[in-house]
């Protein structure tokens, strides 16, 4: 009979085993089970090794993207700050422009008020057709009856045959306003 032999070489974590010939069905079944278990162990170790490699790669990618995300977040914060600053600058510029427009409108009204006073020789607070004719003549514009009637229709909002100062200021047509600005007294009317 064969004597059992102790195998003194070690395979990874295996315990030393006896080399016993396979003679019984139980031995063969146990040997097959061990072989299948060994194969599963090798596959599991390979999968674990591959998973560890992938995990290490993913960890590196995650660290790289974490740095990129931090930089992107900082860029977003800087861009948001720049937008906020630009909004504030635009708002200030808009407010300044509104003030300029309001000042210009106020200056324009004062200019027209002063011009009206010039043409309202009797300080009645209204201009009649003969006054409008004098305005057109002084501005060196056509001053025939039809021209006077046309301007009266534009400026006589109340249809009461005279032009009030408020109507003169708020409804002055550009084709009359431009010559008023060229008038010899325009600087005086503007307060310059």
For residue 168, is it within any domain? yes
CATH of residue 173's domain is 1.10.238.10
- Asked whether residue 180 is domain-assigned, the answer is yes
Domain count, the chain: 1
Residue 184 located in a structural domain: yes
In a domain, 62, yes or no: no
Please indicate, yes or no, if residue 69 is contained in any of the structural domains. no
Measured between alpha carbons, how far is residue 128 from residues 11, 55, 131, 139 in Å? 123, 95, 5, 17
Q: Between the CA of residue 154 and those of 157, 170, 189, what are the distances in Å? A: 7, 11, 22
Assessment of whether the complete model's pTM goes beyond 0.85:
no
Q: Give which of 89, 91, 112 is closest to 167, Cα–Cα.
A: 112
Has residue 72 been placed in a domain?
Answer: no
DSSP-assigned letter for residue 108: H
Residue 152 falls inside a structural domain = yes
Identify the domain containing residue 108 by its residue range.
Answer: 103-190
C-alpha separations of 22 from 18, 19, 92, 176 in Å: 12, 9, 96, 124
Residue 120 near residue 126 (C-beta atoms within 8 A): yes
- The single-letter DSSP state of residue 8 is -
Helices (H), the chain: 25-119, 129-138, 145-155, 165-170, 174-182, 186-190
pLDDT by 10s per residue, the chain, length 192? 455 555 444 454 556 566 778 778 888 888 899 999 999 999 999 999 999 999 999 988 999 899 999 999 999 999 999 999 999 999 999 999 999 999 889 999 999 999 999 999 889 999 999 999 999 999 999 999 999 999 999 998 889 999 999 999 999 999 999 999 999 999 999 986
The confidence score (pLDDT) of residue 9 equals 45
Q: Quick check: is 177 in a domain?
A: yes
Q: Which pair of tokens denotes residue 25? A: 């069905």
């Amino acid at each position: 009979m064969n004597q059992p032999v102790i195998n003194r070489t070690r395979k990874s974590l295996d315990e030393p085993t006896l080399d016993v010939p396979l003679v019984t069905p139980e031995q063969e079944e146990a040997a097959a089970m061990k072989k299948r278990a060994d194969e599963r162990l090798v596959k599991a170790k390979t999968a674990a090794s591959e998973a560890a490699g992938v995990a290490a790669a993913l960890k590196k990618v995650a660290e790289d993207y974490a740095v990129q995300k931090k930089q992107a977040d900082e860029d977003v914060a800087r861009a948001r700050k720049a937008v906020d600053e630009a909004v504030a600058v635009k708002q200030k510029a808009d407010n300044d422009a509104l003030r300029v427009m309001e000042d210009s409108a106020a200056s324009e009204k004062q200019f027209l008020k002063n011009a009206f006073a010039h043409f309202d020789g009797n300080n009645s607070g209204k201009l009649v057709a003969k006054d409008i004719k004098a305005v057109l003549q002084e501005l060196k514009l056509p001053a025939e009856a039809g021209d006077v009637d046309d301007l009266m229709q534009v400026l006589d909002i109340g249809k009461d045959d005279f032009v009030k100062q408020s109507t003169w200021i708020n409804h002055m047509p550009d084709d009359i306003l431009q010559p008023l600005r060229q008038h010899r007294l325009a600087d005086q009317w503007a307060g310059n």
